[in-house]
Every structure is written in structure tokens, then in C-alpha cells.
């Protein structure tokens, strides 16, 4: 093993530990805002793994799309919808935990079987590096154009839904059913300043 392979191996171990640790923290952290920030750390570690695979374009897209767009959208939705509510115990919550554990265990076994049975040999004919950008762009605008556009519409729907949920508290107070007045946002009252109390120098 030469120096380059050693650096690559150490970088792979560090990024893997970072990604797994952040992923576990996303699930186990009680604060949802911290979970969203840790999700950004998971996406960043995945971008580092893409760089180790010589997929620079996919790594850049991971940072721009997932960290810069989707993660920010998640944080935006959390900031709008996050409200303090009293904890209400859920009946038969243990059944949900059992079902969740079963689903997670099944997914773990499925992914583990896929990893073990998949031949991970290197295909020398596949495009690598900057040449893969042209192939990805061709597939994005031909074969996968419809799913690509549907994802953007889905993100827009999530953004609109977060805004509607955030404004739900003020809707009953602002709509007058009898008069049929339109929805108007309340304006903060302004303080009146007596004439002559502001100097000309302060205005300029």
C-alpha cells in the first residue's frame, strides 16, 4: 500500500464514521432542529465519499442540491411549523415501536444482502471523472426528465404546505365569516413622534 492508497483509506474511514455517527444522531437527538443540522453533516460526508470515487460532479450536486437546497428547505419548514405543544400519550405506542423496528430490521437485511451478493468489480468501460457529467446531463434531460421535474414540484408543495401550517393560528382570528372580509396580515402599530422632536441632522 502506497501513500495515496493509505490517505484514501483513512479518509474513507473518517467519512464513514462521520456519516454513521451523524445519521444515528439525527434519529436519537430529541431536538428536531439539531437533527436537521446533523442531516446536513450526513449529506456532506456522502459528498466526501463521492469525491473518493472520483465523482466530482455528483459530490458538487450533493452539496448544492441536498445541503444547499433540501436541507435548508427542511430547516425552513421546521422553523415555521415548530410549535410548543403539551405531550399527549399515544395509546398502543408499543405496537408502533415494534412495527418500526421490524421495518428497519427488514430494510437492514435487504440492504445487507444486496451488498453481499452484488459483484462490486470495477468496469473499465464506464465513464469516470468529468466524462460522466455529459452522460448524467443527457439522462437528466431525456430519460429522467419527468422524475427530475416532479421532484421540484414536490419540494414546492412542501414549501407551500409549511407556510400554510405556520399561518393556521392566525387564520381564525382574521377571517370574519359574517362580513366575508379577506385575509389580511396584522400590521404592527407604529409609535407617533411629536413634531419638532427630531432634529434635521438625525433625519439626514
Q: What confidence score (pLDDT) does residue 172 get?
A: 47
Q: What percent of the chain has pLDDT over 70?
A: 71
Q: In whole angstroms, what separates CA 12 from the centre of its chain?
A: 23
pLDDT in tens, 80-110: 765 666 666 777 778 888 998 999 899 999 9
Rounded (10°) angle between helices 145-166 and 71-81: 20
Residue 84 DSSP code: -
Q: What confidence score (pLDDT) does residue 203 get?
A: 47
pLDDT in tens, 50-85: 988 888 888 888 898 888 888 887 887 777 765 666
This prediction has a pTM of 0.57
- Residue at grid coordinates 430529541: 30
Q: Looking at the predicted structure, is the pLDDT value of residue 14 above 90? A: yes
Q: What confidence score (pLDDT) does residue 38 get?
A: 92
Write down all domains in the chain, each with its CATH number in brackets: 1-83+144-180 (1.20.120.1200)
pLDDT in tens, 114-166: 889 888 766 655 555 567 777 778 888 888 888 888 888 887 887 787 777 76
Amino acid at each position: 500500500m502506497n501513500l495515496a492508497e493509505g490517505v484514501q483509506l483513512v479518509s474513507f474511514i473518517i467519512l464513514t464514521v462521520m456519516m454513521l455517527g451523524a445519521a444515528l444522531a439525527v434519529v436519537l437527538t430529541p431536538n428536531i432542529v439539531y437533527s436537521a443540522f446533523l442531516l446536513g453533516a450526513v449529506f456532506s460526508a456522502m459528498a466526501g465519499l463521492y469525491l473518493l470515487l472520483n465523482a466530482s460532479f455528483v459530490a458538487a450536486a450533493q452539496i448544492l442540491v441536498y445541503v444547499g437546497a433540501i436541507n435548508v428547505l427542511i430547516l425552513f419548514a421546521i422553523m415555521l411549523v415548530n410549535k410548543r405543544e403539551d405531550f399527549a400519550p399515544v395509546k398502543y405506542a408499543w405496537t408502533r415501536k415494534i412495527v418500526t423496528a421490524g421495518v428497519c430490521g427488514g430494510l437492514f437485511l435487504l440492504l445487507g444482502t444486496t451488498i453481499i451478493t452484488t459483484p462490486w468489480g470495477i468496469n473499465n468501460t464506464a465513464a469516470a471523472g468529468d466524462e460522466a457529467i455529459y452522460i448524467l446531463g443527457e439522462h437528466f434531460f431525456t430519460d429522467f426528465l419527468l422524475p427530475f421535474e416532479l421532484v421540484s414540484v414536490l419540494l414546492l408543495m412542501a414549501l407551500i404546505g409549511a407556510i400554510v401550517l405556520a399561518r393556521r393560528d392566525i387564520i381564525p382570528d382574521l377571517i370574519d365569516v359574517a362580513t366575508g372580509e379577506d385575509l389580511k396580515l396584522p400590521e404592527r402599530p407604529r409609535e407617533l413622534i411629536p413634531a419638532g422632536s427630531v432634529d434635521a441632522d438625525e433625519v439626514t
